[in-house]
Amino acid sequence: MIKQAPLQFSEPALDGSGLKIGMIVARYNSHVTAAMLKLAQDELLRLQVATDDISIISVPGSYELPAAAQAMLHDRNYDAIICFGCVMKGETRHDVLVGDAAAQGLQRVSLDTGTPIIFGVICAENQRQATERIERGRECAQAAIEMAHTVQSLKKLSIENATNSIR
């Protein structure tokens, strides 16, 4: 049996200079989503995203996040979008339907537009679980910067490959 060395991943350089980031926050369970938004804003600024390059809108709930993301991307170019929501389990299956619709809708918008959309929707069993996951706001900001650079690099590589094949 051949023994393989464990994969080594380097930490990405997280420099947000020149990036345009859109953020959409659901107002439902705003005690959670507003805290996530604040952490994300602070982290984006720490990572050198200019205040003028951060756009923020709010929507009623997590179900509305995909439509808002699609509208934001239709009107303006963003390097990444971050969406925050909080869906908590209730007595019915409504939480499952809303969480799934938000996830699938945001994924479809991201794939259709080629713009990274970071899924910052907490799906929790209760208030305690949701509160424990607020720190995810900072992680979402970091993921947005990383994915914006990743997609830009892949697009640049694709253009270079196309140019080289013409020669």
132 is in an annotated binding site: no
59 is in an annotated binding site: no
64 is in an annotated binding site: yes
DSSP-based three-state secondary structure for 48: coil
78 is in an annotated binding site: no
Q: State the virtual CA torsion across 58, 63, 65, 67 in degrees, nearest 10.
A: -110
Q: State the virtual CA torsion across 95, 41, 39, 122 in degrees, nearest 10.
A: 10
76 is in an annotated binding site: no
Using DSSP bridges, classify how beta strands 54-59 and 80-88 pair: parallel, antiparallel or unpaired: unpaired
Cβ contact 26:163 at 8 Å: no
133 is in an annotated binding site: yes
119 is in an annotated binding site: yes
Q: Which of the following is catalytic: 31, 74, 94, 149? A: 94
Identify the helix (H) or strand (E) that includes residue 23.
strand 21-26
Catalytic residue at 94? yes
Sign of CA dihedral 18, 136, 41, 89: positive
86 is in an annotated binding site: yes
Burial degree of 106 (CB within 10 A; 0-12, 13-18, 19+): buried
11 is in an annotated binding site: no
139 is in an annotated binding site: no
Binding site per annotation, positions for (2S)-2-hydroxy-3-oxobutyl phosphate: 91-92, 133
Binding site per annotation, positions for 5-amino-6-(D-ribitylamino)uracil: 28, 62-64, 86-88, 119
What is the set of active-site residues? 94
